[in-house]
Chains A and B, each alone.
Chain A
Amino acid sequence: MDGIHDLGGMSGFGEIVVERDEPTFHEAWESLAFGLNVLAIAQLRAYNVDEYRHAVERMSPAHYLTASYYERTLTAVATLLVEKGVVDRATLLARAGGAFPLAQAVADVAPDGVTPPPEPRFALGDRVRVREMHPAGHTRAPRYVRGHVGEVVHVAPRFSFPDHAAHGLERRKEPTYHVLFSAEELWNDAAGSGESVVVDLWESYLLPAESGSGGVEPVDG
């Protein structure tokens, strides 16, 4: 989804405030929110980490931007535990003594039908273009690189494809590629000089640069 979480490159957020000698958790409830997520994923096995990330992304944009990191965690955990039937929403409201805002409903997502080739499709030095994609569900291809051309600088091992894993679709593993983009390629006349960005991208997000078309499935070769 083209959600509020996909912040890379947006303007208007102001200065970055660094707290000296910052504690890991500022308040007791923050450590509970963190612990609840670890418990739900690792021990209750109620959902996976991709579903968790997507639940955070499904928060309403206004809530997302005003919530602290651990409020986003808490909201995602509660949303998923309600959706999975582990807890009951009405009981949660009663216990909280007020509203308990949850994330918005998950979109219906169909499998993409891609079968990754047995060997990595791209190699070091290859020029690749990020597909111009706008999926309804979870994806880890940030908007700011879609449609842009970069160079493969590292081939990482195969990892579970999040666009499927976040939606309970058939799990598959694909290589991910560290793709180097020049600032000029991404930001055009707003680019700073002597700057570049590397983004770690699943194979399905990428096309050979020469193909030129963002939306068309590449031909194996």
Chain B
Amino acid sequence: MAEPDRPAPVARRAFALREELEERGRLEPGQLEAIAQASEEQFDWRNGARVVARAWVDPEYRERLLRDGTAACAELGFAGPQGEYIVVLEARPELHPVIVCTQCSCTAWPVLGLPPDWYKSPAYRARVAREPRRVLREMGLELPESVEIRVWDTTAETRYLVLPLRPPGTEGMSEERLADIVTREAMIGVARVPAPDAGA
């Protein structure tokens, strides 16, 4: 039989592979949906936001986090696949870290979640290692020339998390409210945590 030359729609290909594995008894109905749902629940970037908020209010936790990110994230219950060795990168006024995986899309799942499309896009992966200041500016983060931008390429087994600068005007905020203002983009390093709106 001649092979078809037009690819089946990608959804149809995914269903075909699932059917074939079910037919061969390697997969139970509903098993993939259960894996995906459990992963979405376990791998949530809001976990990282809680780590950041704790580090902002607790200097000893901050020190532990910067010394041993894996253990400090596990203290709050965040561990697992793609989080076996976490290194936390401290944003400083004069040195701004930003994370990429140029060869695939490795991410610290337990604290950053499954990565967003822009992080996985060829454009981000190709460009940020070579022209980070321009990329950040295009994404809305204008950093003065006096701030060094350091790109961390996730090429081996270390998984990174950026500890962003705590924005001004948050001195009296509770840890819980601080966690609410942290964004995933800030923990990857393509944004800073915005100062809360006046009166918010």
Enumerate chain A interface residues (CB-CB to B < 8 A): 5-11, 13-19, 22, 24-25, 27-29, 31-36, 38-39, 44, 53, 56-57, 65, 67-69, 71, 74, 77-78, 81, 86-88, 91-93, 95-101, 140-142, 144, 154, 156-157, 159, 176, 178, 180, 186-187, 190, 192-202
**Which 10 A-B residue pairs are closest in the complex by CB-CB distance?**
A98-B8, A8-B102, A35-B32, A31-B36, A95-B16, A200-B156, A96-B8, A13-B123, A96-B16, A29-B11
- Add 15 more A-B contacts to A67-B10, A194-B146 (CB < 8 A): A7-B125, A8-B129, A19-B118, A24-B114, A28-B11, A35-B32, A68-B10, A77-B17, A78-B17, A92-B17, A141-B155, A193-B145, A194-B149, A195-B133, A196-B151
Shortest A98–chain B CB gap in Å is 3
Q: Indicate whether A140 sits within 8 Å of B151 (C-beta atoms), given known contacts A16-B138, A176-B157.
A: no
Q: In the bound complex, do residue A99 and residue B156 qualify as a contact, i.e. CB atoms below 8 Å apart?
A: no
* A86 contacts B103, C-beta separation under 8 Å: no
Determine whether B60 belongs to the interface, using a CB cutoff of 8 Å to chain A. no
Task: Report Cα–Cα, A221/B13, bound state, in Å.
Answer: 53
Q: Does B169 contact A (CB under 8 A)?
A: no
Contact of A25 among B26, B31, B36, B139 (CB under 8 A): B36
Q: Quick check: B20 and A91 within 8 Å, CB to CB?
A: yes
Cross-chain contact B32 with A6 (CB below 8 angstroms): no
Q: Which residue of the partner chain A has the closest CB to B140?
A: A18
Which B residues touch A81, using CB under 8 A? 17, 21
- Are A11 and B126 closer than 8 Å at their CB atoms? yes
Flag whether B27 is at the interface (Cβ < 8 A): yes
Q: Within the complex, which residue of B6, B34, B157 is in contact with A98, where a contact is CB–CB below 8 Å? A: B6
Residues of chain B within 8 A (CB-CB) of A29 are: 10-11, 14-15
Once the chains are docked, how many angstroms separate the CA of A28 from the CA of B100? 27
B195 within 8 Å of A (CB atoms)? no
The answer on a CB contact under 8 Å between A198 and B102 is no
